[in-house]
Every structure is written in structure tokens, then in C-alpha cells.
Structure 1
Amino acid sequence: MKKIHLLLLKSFIRPFIVTLLIVMFVLLMLFLFKYIDDLIGKGFAWYIILELMMYNSATNLAMALPLSVLLSSIMTYGSLGENYELVAIKSAGISLRRAMYPMMVVVFVISVAAFIFSDYMLPVANLKYYSLLYDARKQKSADLIPENIFSSRFPGYTIRVKRKDPDGQTLYDIMIYQRGVIDINHIVTFAKSGQMYRTKDDLFLILKLKDGVRYEESPGEVNYNQRQRLTRFRFKETEQRFDLSDLKMKHTDENEFRQASMMMNLKQLQRYIDSTGRQVDSSVNANYRLIIPNIKYFTIPKTSRTVKKPIPADSLLLHSVNDNLNAFNNASSEVRQIQEALKLRTNNYKDTTKSIRRYIMEYHKKFVLSAGCIVLFLIGAPLGAIIRKGGLGLPVVVSVIFFLIYYIIGTIGEKSAKEGNLSPLIGAWVAVAVLFPVGLFLTYKAATDSALFDMEMYKRFFKRLRFRKEVKPI
């Protein structure tokens, strides 16, 4: 390996790793801001939050990797141009294309690694992430007894606390309603203060009540009136235990999420597309077999086709008015039945074809990720050589603009393909197809030392244009 190739590789790897970590951190913060209300205050163990963040980082890699390739390539070649190292490379007889060869090899390796990741690791990460996020969002809040709210968090109980100390354990003015067999509040407990704590095994919540009274309604000995007898108990201190087993986080079976498109690899996606496509074909044939037996038509004899005089419409109908009316009513009823059957089958057909388009899109997105890295490198490397600016200033602005263009075009194409307005193949590859000629154009301009972004050149052009307008021929 030549020293110049080693120099280019060192200049690219460092900013690539840094920008990848920065982009991943930003996307991770967006995830936390989005789901902060679903995660905070629910008493999760620290490893649950860490596990969610790890799986989310894996799912965000599909977006962070192309942006990191674009930004690091602009920074690398912009820094080389700003320090006149590209000029030294060209003066040594090495063209820009040859200087990009080692970088192309690295980006190609990154693209292959991205494809392997999206096919083998990303489906597993998506399955773990979305199943765990679903369980976390279903988890009830850890604030079991809030202030001034009648909380029904515990089955069979309704609890209200007027005030709590800052420690969250000392309670004042406690009111507890306990429901009986027929869902009526049979027991009511009042207490001036109390202490709340959990058992060591975290299975029960203990409420130690002080200075209170308890009212209990019970059935009589003779009849079945559930509220015939009233008993009152006064206490200085008592304890009440509440079961916490229903409030623990329960993990949903991951097999319930495996049929989603994001949780499948290429083989599983292809198998689903083929099997569902055969189901669609069989449903179309079933619809055809449903309609054909109900189509009634009249065959006109061949001799009548040669007659110039038109055949009267009455000759095709029955002679009796009642017979005609019955025939029309029967035909109308058959048509309505067929319409209802076809409407249901048409809705199922639309849902199934939409699902097929979504799975085809997911199939192509695994290849688009790798192609997007290569295309954005073809844009970033010559763009950095043209603007000749390194660091995190102008390269960040330019890279974000091009990545937004890439992301917006890809999003529009994906939504159009899922709605059936575009072919899934076109919808998946439209962003790559649009930006690939731009990358070739910028590579050509950079190889020919074009001053495409030289502001002085544009200023001189407009000055000459204005001077020609001011100088008029005599």
C-alpha cells in the first residue's frame, strides 16, 4: 500500500467514526425525547432502559451510516483541499480518481457490512426493540398512590391521599374504598397518616395506617342483603397489604411480532411475498368463479344479425308485467348479493396487495442501504475537493442538505409505493437513481478542477454582466 493511500485512509477513518458516534447520539436523544413520558416514572430497572437504548441504536444505524459516510467524506477531502494536500497529490501525477480508489474500497467494505447487518442483525434488533418498547409503554406508572386522585391501580381498591411528604412514603388524610363480591364498596377506611413501603421481594406494597376508623358493611344472618349490618372499627395502627404482581413488567411473546416486515430477512421476505402472491392469485380466480355463473345473457340468432330492421326490446322480455317485475327483483337481489361479496373480497385484496408492496419495499431497502452509502460517498468526496473546507462548519451544512434531499426523496418514494402509486422497485430506488447522476457530475467537476463553488467566479461573472448592460453601443 502506498503512503498516500495510507494517508487518505487515516484521514477518512477518524472522522467517519466520530461522525457516526455523533449521529447515533443525536438519534438516540431523539428517541429518548419521543418516549420520555412512556419510560420515566415506571420503576424500570436500569438494564431495561439500557437494553432499549442499545436496540434503538441498532435500528438507527440504517439512517446514521449513510449520513456518516457523506459527512466524513466531505470533511476528509475538504480538509485535504484546504491544506493544499490535494494539490500536492495532483502535482505528483496522481489524479483524483486514483486518490479515491482506497476510499472506494473502504466504502465498498462498509456497504457490504451494512448489507450483512441489515439482513442478519437488523431484523433481530427490530424484533427485540419493538417488543420491549411495546411492553414498556404498557407498563403502569410506578407512582402507585398519587396525590388528590382516586387511584384504582390495585384491583378491588380505590385509594385517595390528600398529601404526601417529599420522601414519597409518608401519607396524610388517607381514604381507602374496598369493593366486595357484587362490586359495591363494602369497606371504607379513613386514616390521618400512614407509611408506604415495599417488601424486600417487591411482591407487595405495605400501607401502615395510623389513627383511623374502618367501616364495614356485611350481610345479615336471615336474608341475603349484602349491606344489612354495619361495623365500625377504630384503630391506632394497622397494616394493609396490596399485591404488586400485576404491576410488574410482563414480556410479550416475541412470536407475535415476527410477521412484521422489519423483523424478517431476505429469505423470509421472499417466502412471504411468494406465498401471499399465490393467495392473491387464488382470490382473483375465486372472484372470477363467483361472477361467471351469475352472468345471464341472451344469444341473438345468427339470422337476426343480417336483418337490417332492429330487434325490439320487448321481444327479449317476458310478456306478463308481473313476470317481468319478479324477474327484475330477482336479478336485482342477485346483483346486490354479488356486490356485497365482491366488496368484502375487494377490501381483503387491497389489504393483501398493500401488505405485499410493504414487504417488497422492505426487501429492496436492504440493498438500498448499501447503494446509498456508495452514492453519498460519490457526492461527498468530490464535493469536499471542490469546496476545500474541512472541520464541522460548511461540510456539516452541505452534508445535511444533501442527506435531507436523499431522505425526503426516499420517504416520498416509499409512501407512494406503499399506497400503490409507484412500483415498489421504483419507490425503493428513486433516491439512489436521482442522486447517482449528481455524484457522477460532481466527480467529473472535481477531476477537472472545476470552480463550481467558487464565489469569486460568480461575482466576476455578474460584474461582467452588469458592465455589459451599463455600456451601451453608440
Structure 2
Amino acid sequence: MKKIDKLIVRSFLPPLVIWTLVAMFIFNMQFLWKYIDDIIGKGLDLSIIFELLFYQSLAMIPRAMVFGVLIASVMTLGNLAEHYELVTMKSTGMSLFRVMSPLIFFAFVLAGVSFLFSDQLIPVTALKFKSTLYDIRKQKPALSFREGQFNDDFRKVSIFVDKKDPGGKILKGLKIYDHTTTVGYKGQTNAESGGLFYARDTMATTIKVTVQDSTINKDTTIIRSFLVVKLKNGTRYDEMEPDPQKPNAYPHVEMNFDSYTTLYDMSEFEFNETNEDLFKGHYSLLTTRQLLRAIDSLYKKREERYKMLKRNSDAMFHFRREGLAESALDTMKIVPPRHAKYYYPPTVAHAPKISLDTSVKHFYECIPVSKRDYIYQRASGFCQNIKGQANGVAKYCGTNERIHTEHENEIHQKFSFALACLLFLFIGAPMGAIIRKGGFGWPILVAFIFFMLFFVLFLVGERLATSLSIPCWIGSWLPNLVLLPFGLMLTHKALYDSRFINVDKILNLFRWIKGLFRRT
């Protein structure tokens, strides 16, 4: 590698890394803004939140890399043009493509890395991300007691707290309603005060795991958490089961206590990991090979439904005499074409004369009156049956085609984001050479406009493709197809040092229009 190539690559790498990280940070902030209500207030450890953000960051690398390439290319060529280094290179006979050659090679490498991330790494991280987010969203909020309010976080148990100390450990004026067994409440406990603390119970157990028709005993440990409520100076009321022989009697038990302890299971408030196998079938978690196999499977299932509908309709509406075709084949003789005229002399067929009954105006009148209702009901039943099957097949095939489109769209997007790195190089580098600015002003503004246009077109194309409004390949490649003319135009302008906007022509156009108004 020549010194000039090293200079360009060294100027390109720092802004590429920095702005890729900035884009990842922006995408993470967007994610937090979207799911903040599902995360806060659940007592999650910071490690779980950072783990979720880590998976999200890895999934955003291809998109962030596109933004980084765009800004880095604008700033690199803009700096060279601003300090007249680009002019010096061109004066020695170097073309713009020669100056960009190390960046073009590097963009191809980034495109390959982006595709490998999208195809191999992101399905793994996205699986972790989806399962972790699902666990967070299904977890109950952290347990909290408010003064003068009922707490219904526990299943079928309501706890009322009149007052509590600043630390939240000592509660006063407690009322606990137990709804666990019968309609209404089974028991009620009133206490002057109570204390809260948490306890854990560890239990060793053995579970049986079946693997390929063989059973294996596996030792495991189950940890359960409990909320221990220690009540003081109160009364407990319990309803008893009524006696069937005394329907008007409602027995109950009243118990006064100085100290009473009760336990509540806290397992539903803990963070439990879901089995990741539940999410593995989603199209966004598959590699390209897995997507192609899934697409082939979806196509075969759709064709099987069409064939099944055709077989059912043929069986109901195409009546054939059994054995007729087979018996005809048994009587056929294979004769050479040149001898056919001796075996089968030409004959002229005469159609028999049939007298038509002109009084019949409809086929329905040809059916005997005694059988009309039966034939009508049978035909109506056939039609309703076929209509129901056709509607079911149409609904299934519509869903199948939508899922098929989502799988194809995912494949196209892997390649689309990879080639967008190369496309944005041919947008950013010529733009930097034209505007001749490499700082944090114009380069960032121009790059931000093009990236926003790319991202909006990506979302629009994805929505149109998944709604089957346009072919999925058009929806996936829509941002690249729209921005490709901009890249070609900017590269042409920068290659031949032509002005991007000819101000003189615009002024002459306005003068000509002004002259037309004066003449009139």
C-alpha cells in the first residue's frame, strides 16, 4: 500500500468508528424510548438492562455502519478538498477513482462484514434480545405498598396499608383479604402493625429428561422467594364451608393474635428466563440458508393446499364412470401410421337426428318434479362445501404468502444493507469533494439528510412489501434504487470538476421569465 493510500485510510477509519458508535447510541436511545414503560419499575438488575442493550447494539451494527460510511467518506474527501490536498493529487494526474480506490476496497470489505453480521451474528443476538425482552415485559412490577391503597400484585390476595414508616419496612393499619378458594373472600386479617422481610428457600430435586428414547435423571436446584409478613395485635376471620343440612347457617372462625406470620410466594416477581426455542422459528432469527429452506417449505405447503382443493372440487363436480377408461385401453391396438388406413378405413359419421322439445325453457324443467328438491339440496350442499373449502384455502394461502414475503424480504435486506455501504461511499465521497468541507458542519448535515431519506425509504418499502402492495425485492431495494442516481450524478460532477449547481443558468432563467412578463 502506498503512502497516499495509507493517508486516506487513516483519515477514513477514525470518523467511521466514531460515527458508527454514535449511530448505535442513537438507535439504543430510540429503543429505550419505545420500551421504557416495559423496563422501568420492575426492579431489574443493571446487568439485565445492559445485556439487553448489548444485544440491541449488535443487531444495529449493519444500519449504523451505513451511517458511519456516509459521514466518514464526506469528512475524508471534504478534508482533502478543503486543504487543497485533493487538488494536488489531481494535478499529478490522479483521478478521483484513484484517490477513492482504497476507500472502495475498504467499502467492499465493510459490505462483506455487514452481510456476515446480518446472516450469522444477528440471528443469534436477536434471539437473545427477543427472549430477554419477552421475559422483561411479562414480569410484574416491583412490589410496593402505598398508604391508603390496596395492593393487588399478589394473585387473589389484596393488602391494604393505612400508613408506613419512611423505610417501608413497618406497616400500620393492615387489612389482608384472601380470595384464593371461594367466591368473594375466604379470610380477612386485620392488624395494628406488621413487618416485612424477604426469605429464600433452596430445594434440591431430581427431574427426568428424555433424550432419544432414553431417560436421564438430572439433579437440579429450585430456589423460591417469599415475602414474610409478621403481624402484631390483630384479628383473623375465616369463613367455613357451609353445612348442606343447614342452608341458612354461615359458620366462621374468629382468631385474636398477638403475633401472626404469613408467607406470600414471590416467584412471579422474579426474572425468569424463557426457553429460547419458542422464538427460533421467527424469520428475523434465521440465516440465509434457513430462510431459503423455510421459503421452499412454505411454497410446497401452498401448492399442496391448491392441489387438495382441486381434488375435492373434481370429486364433487366431475362425474366419471368407473372402469370405462381402463376397458377402452384394453381394446386398443398399436398400429404403425403407414398401415392405419388398412386397419381403420375412413368413414363418415352421421349425427343422429334428435327431436327437440321447444316447450322446455330451462334445464330445471327437465328434472322430474319428485327429484327436484333432492337434487337442489344436494347441489347446494356441494356448492357450500366447495365454497367453505375455497375460503379456507384462500385465507391460508394469504397468510402463507405474507409469511413467504417476510422471509424473502429478510433475505433481500441482508444484501441491501451490505451494498448500501458501497452506495453511500459513492454519495459521500463525491459530496465531500464538491462542498470542500470536512468539519462538523456541512458534512454532517448532508450525511444526515441522505441517511434520513434512506431510512424513510427503507421503512416505506418494508411496509409496502409486507402488505403485498409491491414485490418484496422492490421494497427491500427501494432506498438503494432511489439513491443510486444521486450517487452516479455526484460522482460524475466530482469526477469532471463540474459545478453541482450552475448559478448563472438559474439567474438567466429568472431573467428570461421576468422578460416574458414585461412583454405581456
Query: Does residue 400 of the first structure (1) align with residue 442 of the second (2)?
Result: no
Counterpart in the other structure of 1:45? 45
Task: Output the CA distance in 2 between the equivalents of 1:344 and 1:238.
Answer: 61
User: Aligned pair 1:229/2:252, yes or no?
Assistant: yes
**In 2, are the aligned partners of 1:189 and 1:215 still within 8 Å (CA)?**
yes
Q: Structure 1's 105 and 302: CA in aligned 2 closer, same or farther, altered over 3 A?
A: farther
Residue aligning to 2:404: 356
Q: 1:281 aligns with which of 303, 307, 315?
A: 303
Q: Residues 192 and 463 (structure 1 numbering): CA distance in 2 closer, same or farther, change over 3 Å? A: same
2:273 counterpart (241, 251, 255): 251
C-alpha change, 1:315 and 1:172, in structure 2 (3 Å) is closer
Alignment correspondent of 2:331: none
Q: Which residue of 1 aligns with 2:346?
A: none
Normalising by the residue count of structure 1, what TM-score does the alignment of the two structures yield?
A: 0.89
Equivalent residue, structure 1, for 2:9? 9
Superimposed CA distance per residue, residues 159-217 of structure 1 (whole angstroms, 9 cap, x where no aligned partner): 12234444333323221012354355232122233332223677111223344333333
| Deviation, structure 1 residue 464 | 3.8
Which amino acid in structure 2 is aligned with residue 231 of structure 1? E
Given residue 443 of structure 1, which amino acid in structure 2 is its aligned partner?
T
Q: Is the 8 A contact 1:217 1:231 kept in 2?
A: no
8 Å contact from structure 1 (residues 186, 227) kept in 2: no
Q: Is residue 71–residue 396 contact of structure 1 (8 Å, CA) maintained in 2?
A: yes
Q: Find runs of 4+ consecutive structure 1 residues off by over 6 angstroms.
A: 220-226, 304-311
Task: Pick from 349, 372, 375 the counterpart of residue 420 of structure 2.
Answer: 372
Per-residue deviation, residues 12-51 of structure 1 (Å, max 9, x unmatched): 1011111011111111111112111211121212211111
Q: CA deviation at 1:157?
A: 2.0
**Structure 1 residues 310 and 451: alpha-carbon distance in aligned structure 2, compared to 1, 3 A threshold:** farther
| Equivalent residue number for residue 376 of structure 2 | 328
Q: Aligned partners of 1:381, 1:271: CA distance in 2, in Å?
A: 40
Give the AA of the match of 1:86.
Answer: L
> CA 1:231–1:391 in structure 2 vs 1: closer, same or farther (change >3 Å)?
same
Paired residue for 2:129? 129
Which residue identity is paired with 1:382?
P
Distance in 2 (CA, whole Å) between partners of 1:214 and 1:187 is: 7
Paired with 2:506 and 2:166, the residues of 1 have a C-alpha distance of: 69
Please say which of residues 211-220 and 59-68 is displaced more in the overlay. 211-220
Query: What is the CA-CA distance between 1:355 and the residue it aligns to?
Result: 0.8
- Which residue of 244, 252, 267 maps to 2:289? 267
Tell me the percent identity: 33
| Paired residues for 1:113-262 under 5 Å | 113-179=113-179, 181-199=181-199, 203-218=225-240, 227-235=250-258, 237-262=259-284
Contact in 2 for aligned 1:41/1:143 (Cα 8 Å): no
| Residue 229 to residue 191, structure 1, CA distance change in 2 (3 Å) | closer
- Give the direction of change, closer, same or farther, for the CA distance of 1:321–1:34 in structure 2 (3 Å limit): same
Q: Which moved more, 1:171-180 or 1:343-352?
A: 171-180
Could you list the runs of 5+ residues in structure 2 that have no partner in the other structure? Answer: 202-223, 321-348
Alpha-carbon shift at residue 272 of structure 1 (Å): 0.8
1:144, distance to aligned residue in structure 2 (A):
4.2
How far residue 219 of structure 1 moved from its aligned partner, in angstroms, is: 5.1
Whole-angstrom CA distance in 1 between matches of 2:250 and 2:302: 62
Find the aligned partners of 1:108 and 1:306 in 2 and give their Cα distance: 80
**Counterpart position of 2:330:** none
Deviation of the 1:331 alpha carbon: 1.3
CA RMSD across the alignment: 3.0
Kept in 2, the 8 Å contact 1:379–1:438? The answer is yes
Aligned position for 2:395: 347
* 1:23 and 2:23 correspond: yes
Contact 1:70 1:379 in 2 (8 A): yes
Show CA shifts across 1:232-285 (max 9, x none): 3142x4433222123222211111111100110011111111122111111111
Opposite residue 113 of structure 1, the aligned amino acid is: V
Q: Would the aligned equivalents of 1:220 and 1:229 in 2 still touch at CA under 8 Å?
A: no
Shift, 1:361, TM fit: 1.0
Deviates more, 1:242-251 or 1:10-19: 242-251
Distance 2:93 2:356 in 1: 89
Letter in 1 for 2:255: R
Please state how far the C-alpha of 1:311 moved relative to its aligned partner. 10
Instruction: Describe the shift of the 1:309–1:89 C-alpha distance in structure 2 as closer, same or farther (beyond 3 A).
Output: farther
The question of whether the paired residues in 2 share the 8 Å contact of 1:318 and 1:324 is answered with no
In structure 2, the CA distance between the partners of 1:160 and 1:171, relative to structure 1 (3 Å rule), is same
How big is the shift at 1:327? 2.4
For residue 294 of structure 1, what is the aligned residue in structure 2?
A: 316
Q: Secondary structure at the match of 1:391?
A: coil
The 1:422–1:315 alpha-carbon spacing in structure 2 relative to 1, beyond 3 Å, is closer
Whether the aligned pair in 2 keeps the contact of 1:194 and 1:207 (CA below 8 Å) is yes
For the 8 Å contact 1:317–1:324, the answer to whether it is kept is no
1:38 and 1:136 in contact (8 A); partners too = yes
- Between 384-393 and 167-176, report the one with greater CA deviation: 167-176
Count of equivalent residues: 466
Counterpart in the other structure of 2:484: 436
In the alignment, structure 1 segments of 5+ residues that lack a partner are none
Distance 1:232 1:86, change over 3 A: same
- Separation of aligned partners in 2, 1:309 and 1:67: 82
Instruction: Note the alpha carbon deviations across 1:302-343, whole angstroms, 9 max, x for none.
Output: 959999999964467425344334323321221011101111
Give the conservation status (yes or no) of the 8 Å contact 1:157–1:177: yes
CA distance in 2 between counterparts of 1:4 and 1:446 reads 19
- The alpha-carbon deviation at position 65 of structure 1 amounts to 1.5
Match in the other structure for 2:71: 71
Instruction: Tell me: CA distance 1:277–1:183, structure 2 relative to 1, closer, same or farther (3 Å).
Output: same
